[in-house]
Structure 1
Amino acid sequence: MRELTKAIQETAQKLLQDKEVELVVGFAKGSLPLRNTPCFIRQPEEAQKLVWGYGCENNLATYLRQRPEKLAVVAKGCDSRSIIELIKENQINREKLVIIGIPCQGMIDRKKVTRLLAGRELLKAEVKDGQVVLMGKGFSETVPCEQLLHDTCLTCQHPNPVLFDIMLGEPVPVKEADSFADLANFEAKAPAEKRAYLIQELSRCIRCYACRQACPMCFCEECFADCSMPQWLSKSSLNVQDNVFFQAVRVLHLAGRCVDCGACDRACPMGIDLRTLTHKMVRDVQELFGYTAGVSLEERAPLAAPVSSSTLNHF
């Protein structure tokens, strides 16, 4: 990770010095262990702030839409896939973007760390040789890194950037595991059980819209949830039926566009299982249309193309 951090710093510094870009979007060290934060660098001497590690979980494609200046971005696999879809939707000007590709080993889920520590405060953490050492007042605990990765990282089939201008680091081997194995329990439920599960989960929703704001593919100037004419959702009270409706429409709007980066799931302050909805939608799009979002600049998204009679026969 130190080598990658140094390479990112040197690359960003050179791009800014040579005036190839006006802005570099990457990560800086966060205020908490295992947590890094999006960082925006405009001066060559500021490039030393940039870091890379297991806490670079944010999808930086969120910050690239409709930018007027020429910029560079540090992009892992899921970031690059979102960038591809945003280019196809005319939200990013490819000619004004330099993509610094970084192979991704996976990102550590702080929620899993919190559950593991069971109330103990994490003061320091180190990652070495596939092990995470968690340290605090009066304790030190070593855990295999694989146990703490985000669920999206455990099933990721595109850990390496799909699109890049500059590639740093060696490619990461692609996992051979079934990328949809986590859906088995949900799919085994009867329709009534599925609905009951979703109602149970979404009854905790406070409609803060953090999931929408974190998603790089949610960029409508006015979301249907904010409309007043017509008014799709109640604005004066919360109820579970409106919550289900909001999430159902949000997920359908992402059909053929979602790259399963997990940004919505991570952003939820209530810990709602949003990924089951999005991941099932990703699988359904693959099965119905043979399309995987964010792997090709040339291939049209299925819902942006004319529907064939053979596809209609699936419904």
Structure 2
Amino acid sequence: MLTYIDKIKEISCRLLQEGKVDMVIGFRKGTVPMMNEPCFVKSPEDVDNLVWDSNCGINLANYLTNRKEKIGIVAKGCDSRNIVTHIIENKIKRDQLVIMGVPCKGMIDRHKIETMFETEIQNVIDVDDKITIKGESFEKTLDKKDVLQDNCALCIHRNPVIYDELVGNLVEEQKDIDRYEDVRKIESLSPEEKWKYFDDLLSACIRCYACRNVCPLCYCPTCFVDESRPQWVGKSIDPIDTRTFHFLRAYHCAGRCTDCGSCERACPMGINVRMFTKKLEKDCLELFNWEAGMTLQNRPPLDTYRPDDPDDFIK
């Protein structure tokens, strides 16, 4: 991680000094442990604010939408795939970007770690494959693999798929990973059991829209939940309104979601928001052999049509 930081700073400083970019989008240390925050660096003197560790889970592609500047951006595997989607969907031009690719071994899950300790966590030190948690009266070292975000533990695209400069050596991709075991379990339930599962899943939702706001795919000028003419969905936490929001948002992400985990990471209620998009991700893979953001040459399956598209679902 320290090597990554040095390289990110070196590249960022050079790009700004040479005038190749107007800004660099990366991360700086957050005000609380395990919550680094996006950082917009516009001068070489400020590159020392940049950091990189296992707390950089926010998807920085979210900050590229409709920008006009030339931008350097730090991108791990899932970020790079969302950058590809942004380019395909004309939200940013490829020649506006200098992409600093970061081979990634996963981000830690602060929710998992926080539940392990009864008192406040004051500092988290990330060294290689170990995470050291410190508080006022305790210190404990954990294996990073045991506290990864769920999406990171299942990730098979850890290396950036598009980049101009790499900040480190490519990492070995995970193999023989069953990414959809949890989805198949839900698919096997009866209709009544599925209904109960999703009712229970969403019962804690407070409609704060953190999942929407952090998602790099949610860039509509006016979200359907904010429309008043016509009004598609109510503003309350009535179960019907809550279900409508989550299911419609998931379908808007179908064929575009990279399972970056930003939605789940941002949720203040700890809801497994990814269960909606993972089902659709699985369907796109099985029906269309499609994984989002892997190439600039093809568009997502749901915004294209071919005569031989699967149509077994039509009754």
Q: Secondary structure at the match of 1:30?
A: coil
Letter in 1 for 2:292: A
| Cα gap change, 1:300 to 1:122, in 2 (>3 Å) | same
* Cα offset, 1:238, TM superposition: 2.4
Pairwise CA distance, 1:108: 0.7
Aligned partner of 2:124 in structure 1 is 125
Which letter maps to 1:206? Answer: I
**2:111 corresponds to:** 111
1:69-88 CA distances to partner (integer Å, 9 max, x unpaired)?
11110000000000001100
List aligned pairs for 1:171-186, cutoff 5 A: 171-176=170-175, 177-186=177-186
The AA in structure 2 aligned to 1:203 is S
List per-residue Cα deviations over 1:72-123 (Å, max 9, x = no partner): 1000000000000110000011111110101011001110111111x22111
Q: SS of 1:92's equivalent?
A: coil
3-state DSSP of counterpart to 2:230:
coil
CA distance in 2, matches of 1:23, 1:35: 22
Range that drifts further, 194-203 or 37-46: 194-203
* Superposition deviation, residue 310 in structure 1: 4.6
SS at match of 2:100: strand
The CA distance in 2 between the partners of 1:129 and 1:309, in whole Å, is 48
Question: What corresponds to 1:287 in structure 2?
Answer: 286
SS of the equivalent of 2:121 reads coil
My pick for the range that moved more, 207-216 or 74-83, is: 207-216
Residue 258 (structure 2) aligns with? 259
Cα shift readout 1:214-233 (whole Å, capped 9, x = no counterpart): 11011111111111121111
Counterpart residue identity of residue 246, structure 1: F
Task: Give runs of aligned pairs for residues 141-152 of structure 1, distance below 5 A.
Answer: 141-152=140-151
Q: Deviations over 1:30-79 (max 9, x none)?
A: 12233311100000111111111011111000001111111110000000
Superposition RMSD in Å = 1.3
1:78: which partner in 2?
Answer: 78
**Residue 102 (structure 2) aligns with:** 102
**TM-score under structure 1 length normalisation:** 0.96
Percent identity among equivalent residues? 43
Partner-residue secondary structure (3-state), 1:312: coil
**Deviation (angstroms), 1:234:** 1.6
TM superposition outliers: structure 1 runs of 4+ over 6 Å: none
The 2-side partners of 1:243 and 1:307 are apart by 34
Is the 1:203–1:239 Cα contact (8 Å) retained in structure 2? no
Give unpaired runs (5+ residues) of structure 2.
Answer: none
3-state SS of paired residue (2:116): helix
Partner-residue secondary structure (3-state), 2:305: coil
**1:10 match: secondary structure:** helix
Partners of 2:111 and 2:270 within 8 A in 1: no
The CA distance in 2 between the partners of 1:297 and 1:211, in whole Å, is: 26
Which residue identity lines up with residue 174 of structure 1 in the other structure?
E
Distance change in 2, residues 1:310/1:41 (3 Å): closer
Question: What CA distance in whole angstroms lies between the structure 2 residues aligned with 1:209 and 1:32?
Answer: 22
> How many angstroms apart in 1 are the aligned matches of 2:278 and 2:60?
20
1:1-315 to structure 2, matched below 5 A, reads 1-117=1-117, 119-176=118-175, 177-235=177-235, 237-315=236-314
Alignment partner of 2:248: what SS?
A: helix
CA distance in 1, matches of 2:35, 2:226: 32
CA shift for structure 1 position 127: 2.6
Contact 1:256 1:291 in 2 (8 A): yes
Query: Which consecutive unaligned segments of at least 5 residues does structure 1 have?
Result: none
Q: CA deviation at 1:145?
A: 0.8
Counterpart Cα distance in 2 of 1:30 and 1:214 = 16
Shift of the alpha carbon at 1:311? 1.0
Range with bigger deviation, 183-192 or 73-82? 183-192
Q: TM-score with structure 2 length normalisation?
A: 0.96
Deviation at 1:129, TM superposition (A): 4.3
Q: Equivalents in 2 of 1:296, 1:314: separation in Å?
A: 27
**Equivalent residues of 1:64, 1:92 under 8 A apart:** yes
**1:310 and 1:80, CA in 2 relative to 1: closer, same or farther beyond 3 A?**
closer
- Partner deviation per Cα, 1:142-167 (whole Å, 9 max, x = no partner): 22111111001000111100000111
Question: Number of matched residues?
Answer: 313
Q: Deviations over 1:171-197 (max 9, x none)?
A: 111111122233243233222111111
Letter in 2 for 1:85: T
Change (3 A) 1:313 1:86: same
**Distance in 2 of aligned mates of 1:34 and 1:274:** 20
**Alpha-carbon distance, 1:128 to partner:** 2.9
Q: Distance in 2 between matches of 1:45 and 1:167?
A: 22
1:23–1:40 Cα contact (<8 Å) kept = yes
Structure-2 separation of matches of 1:48 and 1:168: 16
